[in-house]
Amino acid sequence: MNREFEEIYRLYAADVYHFILKLTQDETLAMDILQDTMLKAITSIDQFKGHCSMKTYLCTIARNEYYNHVKRSDNRNLPLDCAQNAAAEEPLEHRISDKMQAMQIHRLLHHLDEPYKEIFMLRVFAELKFSEIGSLFDKSENWARVTFFRAKAKMIELLQNEEDTYEQK
């Protein structure tokens, strides 16, 4: 499965990236959405029924990821007092859930091997660009992207395994 997905990434990533770039007009955002698209594709590959090409399937996921980004960013552009009111109106259960999930991610992060753990932390918590991460390791920007993608996939797997364990109890 891992080799198959690497082949899919190799064959379609450039086309999907250019599609997203046309939507976003922002190279960094396009690359972030590409990574999210590929991650979503690998975690939901069983939903691909073959009714369209793989490229069309990936572009559909990318388009949906872009729309999700736009929806999330709409709230960021509110005046400060409106944003504070929106945050205050968020139900307590959601705020607690977000904090609990953040703690869960921090705890599971320690189960990742190097360099995945460090790449994940540099990208998510330090918000470094892939080019900056690559240069820290004397590697290419593409190496940093692929390594981060694999780290995210491992984190999702750990989260799913933990949820499955919890449901069995």
Closest by CA position to 141, among listed 155, 131, 126: 131
pLDDT band at 5 (very low <50, low <70, confident <90, very high): confident
What is residue 52's three-state secondary structure? coil
Contact in structure between 8 and 48 (CB atoms under 8 Å): no
On the question of pLDDT at 2 being above 60, the answer is yes
pLDDT above 60: residue 112: yes
Alpha-carbon distances, residue 79 vs 46, 75, 82, 91 (angstroms): 42, 9, 5, 21
- The pLDDT value recorded for residue 1 is 58
Over residues 40-60, the mean pLDDT reads 80
The pLDDT of residue 167: 66
First vs last C-alpha separation in the chain: 29
pLDDT of residue 98 exceeding 70, the answer is no
pLDDT of residue 129: 85
Least trusted range by pLDDT, from 65-69, 80-84, 142-146, 156-160: 80-84
> What is the pLDDT at residue 92?
46
Contact 120, 152 (CB under 8 A): yes
Whole-number Å distance between alpha carbons of 127 and 105: 16
CB 58 within 8 A of CB 37: yes
